[in-house]
Amino acid sequence: MFNRITSSPLFLKLFVWEYWPMGLAIVPTVAFWLWFGLRARRLFFFSAVNPAIETGGMMGESKIDIMRHLPEEHLPKTVFVKTGTPWEKIISELKALEMDYPLIAKPNVGERGFQVLKVEEEDMLRDYHAANRMDFLIQEFVDLPLEVSILYHRFPDREKGAVTSVCLKEFLQVKGDGRSSIRDLMKRDPRANLQVGRFEQEKPEVLSQVPASGEQLLLEPIGNHCRGTKFLSGNHLIDPELNAVFDRLTRKMDGIHYGRFDMKCSSMDELRKGNSFKILEYNGVSSDPAHIYDPSIPVWKKYRDVFRHWEIMYRIYLVQRDKGVRAMGLAEAWGTWRSYWKYKHRIEGAD
């Protein structure tokens, strides 16, 4: 009985930090923001940290614009689709880049896995194109075994920076017993159980399948926490060698000093050598140090690490301020916020 209670969705959402409602979990973070905003005397000081990105990367930033600052050799093949682009033009661009299925489709502006889809065939992509009223990206599916999120910063005019967070991602999966359906297997696992409702809407045909005994079945290829991915701390892997890789990687990223690389690699050993990796996405000042979602980390340590990262952004801002880089004012921030939420309302209405 006790196990049933502690593994129920309601218990997890009430008592397990990583599932707390956003409005509750973010309260200390808002306090950190206000504290450093008071010290900076600019509430939106963080917008000066990455002047090459809209709002510094807090909201409304364009993924394709950020990609143009990243080393092309470490990016997946990408087609940028503007609203209203004819279907024939999309197909032509995919063929020109020799991109084949599966592919990843995602909004050019968006976060937390919203409307990200693994596209298995042309009809799925056609439906995605027809259903959405937004600019979006089509990327090759990067089939490397390890997905990681690495938060890195470098102060302006310095040659070297530091990796401050490494998150290893464990994708949502179940192991078959030869008798139970995927639905039953998911319900036995607290993390997977939270995803059953989503699967009923998006992939109902999957739930009735019965995997063979011992078969390990990947349920979700998109590495977002809200899609059931388990985040584990890899901070023990931070060393001078890893720092050096990101020093080299960011050398030509002018106007970008703080953010998180979401990437896939063949292994951490290869990543340390600067080999065999692709950057799926780069996020600016809104980036969590994603290792804090590791269930084994106490809540006080999670917020301690969040505070430390806000302090890093504040210190970068002080350098930027002395260099004459201007942070957003209240009116500019309000206008940006209104535009972004109008956009979100429009695309969510199309979902």
Q: What is the pLDDT of residues 285-303, one digit of tens each?
A: 999 999 999 999 999 999 9
The pLDDT of residue 60: 84
3-class secondary-structure state, position 312: helix
Q: Which among 311, 309, 320 has a CA at the least distance from the CA of 152?
A: 309
Q: What is the pLDDT of residue 8?
A: 63
At 238, the pLDDT band (50, 70, 90 cuts) reads: very high
Roughly how many angstroms between the first and final C-alpha of the chain, as a whole number?
Answer: 39
Q: What is the pLDDT of residue 1?
A: 52
What pLDDT is stored for residue 344 in this prediction?
Answer: 75
Quote the pTM value.
0.89
Lowest mean pLDDT, pick from 52-61, 137-146, 149-158: 52-61
State the pLDDT at residue 7. 56
The set of residues, in sequence order, having a beta carbon less than 8 Å from that of 166 and lying 6+ positions away, is 148, 149, 150, 151, 233, 234, 235, 237, 238, 242, 291
Can you give the pLDDT at residue 131? 86
pLDDT over threshold 70, residue 12: no
Mean residue pLDDT of the chain comes to 90
Question: Is the peptide bond prior to 102 cis by the omega test (within 30 degrees of 0)?
Answer: yes
Six token digits for residue 153: 């910063």
Kindly state the average pLDDT of the residues 190-213.
90
Q: What would the two tokens of residue 31 be?
A: 């306090």
Cα–Cα distance, 20 to 224 (Å, whole number): 16
Query: Scanning the structure block, which residue is given the tokens 């997977």?
Result: 192
Q: What's the pLDDT at 92? A: 96
- Higher per-residue pLDDT: 19 or 282: 282
Does residue 16 carry a pLDDT above 80?
Answer: no
Q: Could you give the CA distance from residue 182 to residue 166 in angstroms, rounded to a whole number?
A: 31
Per-residue pLDDT tens for 70-124? 999 999 999 999 988 999 999 999 999 999 999 999 999 877 667 788 999 999 9
pLDDT (0 to 100) of residue 11: 61
113 vs 10: CA distance, rounded Å:
23
C-alpha distances in angstroms, 262 versus 218, 254, 300, 342? Answer: 20, 19, 25, 27
For the segment 189-209, the average pLDDT, to the nearest whole number, is 90
* Confidence class for position 3, pLDDT limits 50, 70, 90: low
User: In DSSP terms, which residues pair with 151 in a beta bridge?
Assistant: 165, 260
**pLDDT at residue 65 tops 90:** yes
More confident residue, 137 or 21: 137
Instruction: Look at residue 123 in the predicted model and tell me its pLDDT.
Output: 94
Residue 42: the pLDDT is 95
Task: Convert the pLDDT of each residue in 39-52 to its tens digit.
Answer: 999 999 999 999 99
Sheet containing strand 230-233, edge to edge, reads 230-233, 162-170, 146-153, 258-265, 277-283
The two counts, helices (H) then strands (E), for the chain are 15, 11
All structural domains of the chain, each given as residue ranges with its CATH number in brackets, are 1-72+144-171+220-351 (no CATH), 77-141 (3.30.1490.20)
Going by pLDDT thresholds of 50, 70 and 90, the confidence category of residue 333 is confident
User: Which ranges of the chain does DSSP label H, i.e. alpha helix?
Assistant: 2-6, 9-15, 22-25, 27-40, 63-67, 87-96, 122-131, 182-187, 190-193, 196-202, 204-207, 240-249, 268-272, 299-322, 330-349
Mean pLDDT, residues 162-168 taken together: 98
Give me the mean pLDDT over the 219-234 stretch: 87
Q: Is the pLDDT of residue 351 over 80?
A: no
Mean pLDDT over residues 190-205, rounded? 89
Cα 161 to Cα 154: distance, rounded to the nearest angstrom: 4
The band of 179, judged by pLDDT with boundaries at 50, 70 and 90, is very high
